[in-house]
Structure 1
Amino acid sequence: MDYQALEGNYTPGQFEEEIYQYWLKEGFFESRINPKKKPYTIVMPPPNVTGILTMGHILNNTIQDVLIRYYRMNGYEACWIPGTDHASIATEAKVTKYLAEKGINKWEIGREKFLEYAWEWKNKYGGIIIDQLKKLGTSCDWKRERFTMDDGYYKAVIHAFVKLYKKGYIYRGYRLVNWCPVSKSAISDEEVYYEEVEGHLWHFRYPIKGTDSYVVVATTRPETMLGDTAVAVNPNDKRYRHLIGKTVVLPLAEREIPIIADDYVDPEFGTGVVKITPAHDPNDYEIALRHDLPIVNIMNPDATLNDLVPEDFRGLDRYEAREAVVEAMKERKLLEKIEKYTHKVGYSERGHVPIEYYLSEQWYMKMSELVKPAIEVVKKGEITFYPERWTKVYFHWLENIKDWCISRQLWWGHRIPVYYCDACGFMDAFEEDPGKCPKCGMKLRQDPDVLDTWASSWIWPFAVHDWPNPDPNLDYYYPTDTLVTGPDIIFFWVARMIIAGMEFLGKIPFKRVYFTGIVRDDLGRKMSKSLGNSPDPLDVIRDYGADALRYTMTRLAPLGNDILYSNEKCELGRNFANKIWNASKFILSHLTGKPLPSLENIPLDIFDKWILTRYQETIKAVRQSIEDFHFNEATVQLYDFIWDDFCSWYIEVSKVTLTHGDEDSKQAKRRILLHVLEGSLKLLHPFMPFVTERIYLTLPRYEKTIVYAPYPVFDGKYLFEDEKAQARLIQEVIYVIRNVRGENKIAPGETVKAFCIVENKADKALLERYTSFVEKLAKSTLEFIERREPKPMEGVGHGKGFDIYISLEGSIDKDKELARFEEELTRLQNQKKATEAKLANPNFTNKAPEAIVQKEKDKLNYYSQEIEKISKIIESLKG
C-alpha cells in the first residue's frame, strides 16, 4: 500500500478498514520464534463466544493493543494470542432458545443431537465479537486464535482434570450451591447479580411442643419453611434464653425441630427468632454444620417442590408454594402479620430468574494446598498487580479459600472424564474413553456433568499452545508478560490461572496484571443494556473513527479507576486526529521532493532547540508512562506536545521562515518539521494506529509500515534547557497578547498596539531580539516601556516577569462591551450560587458518586476564577 498524498478532510471511514486489511495481508501481526529477540506476550482474556463488543471490551483491548504495539516497535517479538471462551451456561441458553424458536425441545432430542446444533450455532454466530474487535484495530496474531473447545484445548483441559484427580485434589460431595432453575445447573458467584426487590416479611407462629405458647419467626421466603430443621436465637438474647433446648412443632410439616442458640442470629432482625433451612440458605447451611442438624432439600431442579414436603404442596412452583403456605398458615391462625420489606435478591445472569441455594452432589477441587505457591509468588514480587491495592484483596481470598465447585449440569462444555461401571462399582478418571471396565469388562458410563467454564479457562495462558505436549512455542512465549483484565474476576480467573501455572508448569503465567476500571456513564452508573446507557461501540466507531474511540477511552481511564464515558467525549479524540491530519497536510505541502539535510548538519534557532527539547522530554515521559501503566498520562503528554507545542506553536513559528526565509533555512525548517512529525506519529501509533499509519505511508521513508517502525528513544544530545526557557518566555508574551485580544473580541485581522514592561534585563533583550516574531504571531505592534499606569479603554495581561497593555481605542465599542461583560458577570454569579447550593446539600454530597461531586467542585472553582477576571475587565472599561 502506498498513499501519495493526504487529500480532503480527516475521514476515518475512508481508510481504517483498508489499512487493517493491509496489515492482515502483509502478516504484520504474526509472531514467530526468534532466538535473537526477546518475546513479549499477551493472551487475550477470551470473550464469551456468545458475546458482542461492549465499552468494557473497548477499554480492555485498547490497553492490550497499546502494550503490544509499543513493545513490537521496541524490537520485541510481540505476540498477542486471541481467542474465545465456549461459555457453557450462556451458550447453552442461547442454543436452547434458538431451538425453541424452531419448535425443538432440548430434552426430547437428547445430548448428542443438541451438541450438533450447538456447534452449528457456534460456527454461525460465535465469531461476531472477534470480527468486531478487528474494527478496533487489535493487532492480534489471528493465526494463533484459540477456542476453549478446540480439540487440542479440550485435551489439555481433560489432562489437567485427570492429573488433579489422580493426585486426590478432585472429589465428589454434597454441598450448597448457587442454582439456576432455568438452566437446572449450579452456577458460580460471578454468574449471580443482585437486585433490590420490594417484598414482604411474613411473621409465623411456631408452636412450642407441650405448651400453649409459640415463638414468632420472620421470613422473606415462606415456602422454604417446609424444609426447616431448627429455629435459632442468639444465646445472649434474654427474651429467649429459657427456650434454648426446647422443641417446636413445624407447622404444616408437623415435624418436631429444636430451638438452638447461635451467635449468627441478629436479635434486631424480625423477632430475634429465625428459622433454619440448611438446604436453601448458605448461612443456615453453616449453622446446620455447626449444630449437626439434618439438611432437607425440598426442591426439584426446576424449583418446584418435591416429595419431601406435605402432599398438598408437591409439584408447586416455588412462588405458587409461597402463596399456598401463607394461605395455609393463615387458615391455621399461625400468621401473625405481614410487613413490607426491601431486600437484595440474587438472580441468575443467564436464566434471569432468582437463584436458589440448593443442596446437590457436585464435583469439587481441594484448594488448600494448591493455593500455597500462588500466594508465595505474589509475596515475593514475581507477579505485580496494578493498582497495587488489589494485592491485599488477592491474599485475603486465597488465605480464606474454600474448595471450588467445578461441575455444571449442562451438555455444552468439557464433559467430566470420570467413568462408572454400574455392574461392579468401579470408578476412575481417564483422558480417553476406556470403552469397558478394566475390572469386569462391562461397558462404562461417563459422568453426565461438564466442567465450570472457569475450570477450563484457568489453564488459558499455556493451553493456547500445544500443552501438555512438548512445544517450542510454549517454551518461548510462556510465561506471558502482562494480563489486562477486570478486577471483578480476580478470584474466578486471575488467581486460578496463577494456581494452574504453578501446579502444572511450576512457573507463573504472567509477570504483571493490570486491572481496568469499570466504564460508567456521566451520572456514575455502570453501563448496561438494561439501563439503556451503553452505546454500541460499532456505532461510535462509525461516527467518530476507531482512533478517536481508542484515544478517548484511554485518556479517560486513570490507573485502575472507573471512567465516566459519553459519546460526545469522543469529539476530543476525533479533533486530535483531525489536528494531526491537517498539520501533516501542511508539512507535506511544503516538501519539495529535494533531499533534506540531516538533523546534525543544520543550524538550529531558538524555536528549533525548544521543539527538539520538548520532543525528547515527551519521548521520555511517554515511554515511562506506558511502562508504568499510566496510559491516560501518556495520552495527555502526547496531546500537549503534538497539539500545543508542535501544531499550535512550532508550525506557526515555522511559517515565518517558510514564507520569508532563504532556501537553506527553509530546508532546515522542513527537516525539523518532518523529523518531529515522523517521531510524533510513532509515539502516538500504539494509541491511534490507523491515522498514524495513514499519514506515515505518505512520508518520505523506507519502511512499508509504521507497525514495525522503531519507537523513539530518548536522546540527551537534543536537550537545550536555556533555549527552552527563552522560547517559553516568547510564547507566553504571544499568549498573553492573544488572550487579551480574545477577551475583548478584537477581530482576528486587526493589528493592535501592545506595550510591554519586563522586569529582567536579559528577558527584555531576548524579547527585543524576537519582536518581529511576536508581532507576526500576535498580530500586534510591540513597544517596550519602563512603567505605565492602566488607562481607560485598555486591556491588561500579566505573565511571569512582564505585563502587557493593549490599547482598545477604535477596536471595540466601549458601551457594548461593558454591557456584554456585565451580562456575563451576572450569569456566572448565578451559576456560582446554584453550584454552592448544590454542594451545601448533604443529600447530594453524601449520595452522588465521588466523581460527580468533584465535578461540581471544579465548576465552582472555574466560576470563581472567571468572575474575578471579568470583574477586572469591567473595572478597566469603566476607567
Structure 2
Amino acid sequence: MFRKVSSDIDFIQMEKKIFGKWYSSGIINDYLHLNDQSDKKFSFLDGPITANNPMGVHHAWGRTYKDLWQRFFNMLGYKQRFQNGFDCQGLWVEVEVEKELKIRNKKDIENLIPGNKKASIAKFVQLCKERVKKYSSIQTEQSKKLGYFMDWDNSYYTMSDENNYLIWYFLKTCYQKGWIYKGFDSVPWCPRCETAISQHEMLTEDYKELTHETVFLKLKINDTRLSQDAYKVIKKLKHKFKNIYLLVWTTTPWTIPANVAVGINTKFTYGIWEHKGNDEAVIILEKDENLDNVKRISGNKEISISEYIFSGIEGEFEKKEEVSGTELVGLHYNAPFDSLPLVKNAGKEKPNTFHTVVDGSEIVVSDEGTGLLHVAPGAGKEDFDLGKREDL
C-alpha cells in the first residue's frame, strides 16, 4: 500500500528549506574547497553574465553547461576557482536606465540636473551602477536556486576599479610595444544610441535574413584608364565589341554613389554576351571554380545564370567569348555618379585604384548575383577590409 500523499504541499516553501540546508550545513563550502591542496589545476574563467535584467532561460542553459564542466573536474580532483562574473558595461544597461528616465536622446542625459552637465553625467553613471547592483543580486539568487555552486561572495564585476586599472595597464603595455595603431574601420552604427554597436548586439537583437529585390547595374569599361595587363584584354575584345559593360549586382543600391570598385572571383570564368542590335556587350559570371556552368532556380525550374539575368531585359543576347576572372582584374570603368564632387575627390585621392576591378574572391560567390560585386568600402565591413587590402 502506498501512503496517501497530501495534495496541499507548498513546493516553494519546501524548496527554500532544502536550499537553506545546503548552505547552513556547509556542503557547498566543502564542495568549493574540496581540492584546494591538489597539484592538478583546471583553469576556468566565467564569461560574465550582463547584470541588466533577471535571468532568462538561455542564461540558465549556459550556466548549467558551465556547472557541469566544473563539477566534472572537481570530481576528478582538480583544483579550480569558482568565481562568478558580472558584466556591468554596455548599451543594454544604459538603454534600460534611459527607458526608466524616459530619455529620448543622449543629450537629455546631460540635463538630468539642469545647467550642470558634469553632475548630470555622474548621476546617470550612478543610476547605471545601481541597476547593475540590483540585478546582479537578483541573478545571484536565481543562480543559487538552479543549484549552481559558486563562490557567490567573491564574484567579480567588470565595473570595478581593479578591472579598469588592469585594462588600462594592458593597453598601455600594448601601446609601448607598438601593438596598437590608430586607423579606420567600418562598424555598425546606432543613430539613436550615437555609438558603434557590436556584431553580438546585432545578431541577438532582431537580425533577420530577408529575401528582397536587388539591383543590376551596367558599368561601362573605360579603355583610356587601363593597366598593362588589362590593356591586353581590352585590345583583344574591342575589335569585336564597341561598348563593353560590367553587369554588377548589389543588395544595397543606396550605397552606389559610394562605389569605388567592382569585385570579381579570380577562380571563376566569365562570359561576354552581346546584345544584338545595339553594339553593346556585358560581362557576367559563366562558370564556377570547378568549371561547372552556374545555375539559378526560377520557380521550380533550374535555368542557366544567363537566362536568369537576361529574361527581364528586352532584346536577345548571344554569348561571344569567355575570359577568366584573373583577366578582368585591373579594368577601369565609369560609374553613374562620377560628376558628384565627393566622387571626384575620391578619384583624385587614389586614381590608380578608383573605379577598378579587383580580386574579391573571398566575398564574391557563385550562388547569387552576377559574379561582379559592387564594392563600397565606406558602407560595409567586408567591403572595407577588401578596400584596405587593395588600397582603395
TM-score normalised per structure 1: 0.29
Query: Which residue of structure 2 lines up, in the alignment, with residue 19 of structure 1?
Result: 18
Is the aligned partner of 1:138 residue 2:156? Answer: no
1:148 maps to a residue whose letter is: T
> In structure 2, do the counterparts of structure 1 residues 96 and 252 end up closer, same or farther at CA, with 3 Å as the change threshold?
farther
Distance in 1 (alpha carbons) for counterparts of 2:332 and 2:215: 23
Distance in 1 (alpha carbons) for counterparts of 2:68 and 2:104: 44
Deviations 1:372-404 (A, max 9, x none): xxxxxxxxxxxxxxxxxxxxxxxxxxxxxxxxx
Offset at residue 269 of structure 1 (A): 4.3
Deviations 1:132-191 (A, max 9, x none): 112212222222122111233333333333233323333322123344444333344333
Distance in 1 (alpha carbons) for counterparts of 2:387 and 2:69: 51
Query: Which residue of structure 2 lines up, in the alignment, with residue 195 of structure 1?
Result: 208
Aligned match for 1:106, one of 99, 109, 113: 109
For the 8 Å contact 2:360–2:386, the answer to whether it is kept is no
Offset at residue 12 of structure 1 (A): 4.1
Query: Which residue of structure 2 lines up, in the alignment, with residue 129 of structure 1?
Result: 139
Distance in 2 (alpha carbons) for counterparts of 1:282 and 1:291: 14
1:58 maps to a residue whose letter is: A
Deviations 1:254-312 (A, max 9, x none): 4465342435245774344432201213333343234322xxxxxxxxxxxxxxxxxxx
Aligned match for 1:167, one of 177, 191, 197: 177
For the 8 Å contact 1:248–1:259, the answer to whether it is kept is no
Offset at residue 76 of structure 1 (A): 7.7
Distance in 1 (alpha carbons) for counterparts of 2:171 and 2:81: 28
For the 8 Å contact 2:261–2:375, the answer to whether it is kept is yes
Flag structure 1 segments of 5+ consecutive residues without an equivalent.
Answer: 1-5, 294-879
Aligned match for 1:47, one of 42, 46, 49: 49
Q: Which has the larger radius of gyration?
A: 1
For the 8 Å contact 2:260–2:377, the answer to whether it is kept is yes
Is the aligned partner of 1:230 residue 2:261? Answer: yes
> In structure 2, do the counterparts of structure 1 residues 27 and 145 end up closer, same or farther at CA, with 3 Å as the change threshold?
farther
Distance in 2 (alpha carbons) for counterparts of 1:32 and 1:142: 13
Query: Which residue of structure 1 lines up, in the alignment, with residue 248 of structure 2?
Result: 217
Q: Secondary structure at the match of 1:105?
A: helix
Deviations 1:758-806 (A, max 9, x none): xxxxxxxxxxxxxxxxxxxxxxxxxxxxxxxxxxxxxxxxxxxxxxxxx
Residue pairs, 1:9-408, within 5 angstroms? 12-25=11-24, 28-30=27-29, 42-65=44-67, 80-100=82-102, 105-106=108-109, 108=111, 111-193=121-203, 194-206=207-219, 215-233=246-264, 236-239=269-272, 240=283, 245-251=331-337, 254=340, 255=343, 257-262=354-359, 264=361, 265-266=364-365, 269-293=368-392
> In structure 2, do the counterparts of structure 1 residues 233 and 25 end up closer, same or farther at CA, with 3 Å as the change threshold?
closer
Deviations 1:94-123 (A, max 9, x none): 223333359982355554343122123223
Distance in 2 (alpha carbons) for counterparts of 1:198 and 1:179: 23
> In structure 2, do the counterparts of structure 1 residues 7 and 168 end up closer, same or farther at CA, with 3 Å as the change threshold?
farther
> In structure 2, do the counterparts of structure 1 residues 35 and 277 end up closer, same or farther at CA, with 3 Å as the change threshold?
closer
Deviations 1:515-564 (A, max 9, x none): xxxxxxxxxxxxxxxxxxxxxxxxxxxxxxxxxxxxxxxxxxxxxxxxxx
> In structure 2, do the counterparts of structure 1 residues 70 and 233 end up closer, same or farther at CA, with 3 Å as the change threshold?
closer
Offset at residue 201 of structure 1 (A): 0.5
For the 8 Å contact 1:233–1:267, the answer to whether it is kept is no
Percent of aligned positions that are identical: 25
2:256 maps to a residue whose letter is: M
Query: Which residue of structure 2 lines up, in the alignment, with residue 836 of structure 1?
Result: none
Flag structure 2 segments of 5+ consecutive residues without an equivalent.
Answer: 225-241, 273-282, 284-322, 345-353
Q: Which has the higher contact order (CA 8 A, sep 6+)?
A: 2
Offset at residue 192 of structure 1 (A): 3.2
> In structure 2, do the counterparts of structure 1 residues 7 and 139 end up closer, same or farther at CA, with 3 Å as the change threshold?
farther
Q: Secondary structure at the match of 1:176?
A: coil
Q: Secondary structure at the match of 2:355?
A: strand
For the 8 Å contact 2:35–2:78, the answer to whether it is kept is no
> In structure 2, do the counterparts of structure 1 residues 252 and 91 end up closer, same or farther at CA, with 3 Å as the change threshold?
farther
**How many residues align structurally?**
288
Offset at residue 69 of structure 1 (A): 6.1
Offset at residue 248 of structure 1 (A): 0.1
Offset at residue 224 of structure 1 (A): 0.8
> In structure 2, do the counterparts of structure 1 residues 216 and 33 end up closer, same or farther at CA, with 3 Å as the change threshold?
closer
1:90 maps to a residue whose letter is: W
2:270 maps to a residue whose letter is: D
Q: Secondary structure at the match of 1:217?
A: strand
Distance in 1 (alpha carbons) for counterparts of 2:57 and 2:164: 30
Distance in 2 (alpha carbons) for counterparts of 1:72 and 1:263: 50
Deviations 1:574-601 (A, max 9, x none): xxxxxxxxxxxxxxxxxxxxxxxxxxxx
Q: Secondary structure at the match of 1:170?
A: coil
> In structure 2, do the counterparts of structure 1 residues 22 and 157 end up closer, same or farther at CA, with 3 Å as the change threshold?
farther
Offset at residue 47 of structure 1 (A): 1.2
> In structure 2, do the counterparts of structure 1 residues 15 and 75 end up closer, same or farther at CA, with 3 Å as the change threshold?
farther
Distance in 1 (alpha carbons) for counterparts of 2:191 and 2:199: 15
Deviations 1:391-445 (A, max 9, x none): xxxxxxxxxxxxxxxxxxxxxxxxxxxxxxxxxxxxxxxxxxxxxxxxxxxxxxx
Distance in 1 (alpha carbons) for counterparts of 2:243 and 2:139: 66
Distance in 1 (alpha carbons) for counterparts of 2:82 and 2:56: 20
- Larger relative helix fraction: 1
Offset at residue 63 of structure 1 (A): 4.7
1:223 maps to a residue whose letter is: W
Offset at residue 253 of structure 1 (A): 5.0
Residue pairs, 1:332-731, within 5 angstroms? none
1:262 maps to a residue whose letter is: D
Offset at residue 85 of structure 1 (A): 1.3
For the 8 Å contact 1:267–1:273, the answer to whether it is kept is no
Question: Superposition RMSD on alpha carbons, in Å?
Answer: 4.1
Comparing 130-139 with 111-120, which one deviates more in the overlay?
111-120
> In structure 2, do the counterparts of structure 1 residues 261 and 84 end up closer, same or farther at CA, with 3 Å as the change threshold?
closer
> In structure 2, do the counterparts of structure 1 residues 227 and 12 end up closer, same or farther at CA, with 3 Å as the change threshold?
same
1:260 maps to a residue whose letter is: V
Distance in 1 (alpha carbons) for counterparts of 2:71 and 2:359: 58
Distance in 1 (alpha carbons) for counterparts of 2:82 and 2:219: 63
Q: Secondary structure at the match of 2:254?
A: helix
Q: Secondary structure at the match of 1:174?
A: coil
> In structure 2, do the counterparts of structure 1 residues 36 and 130 end up closer, same or farther at CA, with 3 Å as the change threshold?
closer
Q: Secondary structure at the match of 1:231?
A: strand
Distance in 2 (alpha carbons) for counterparts of 1:230 and 1:67: 50
Offset at residue 80 of structure 1 (A): 2.1
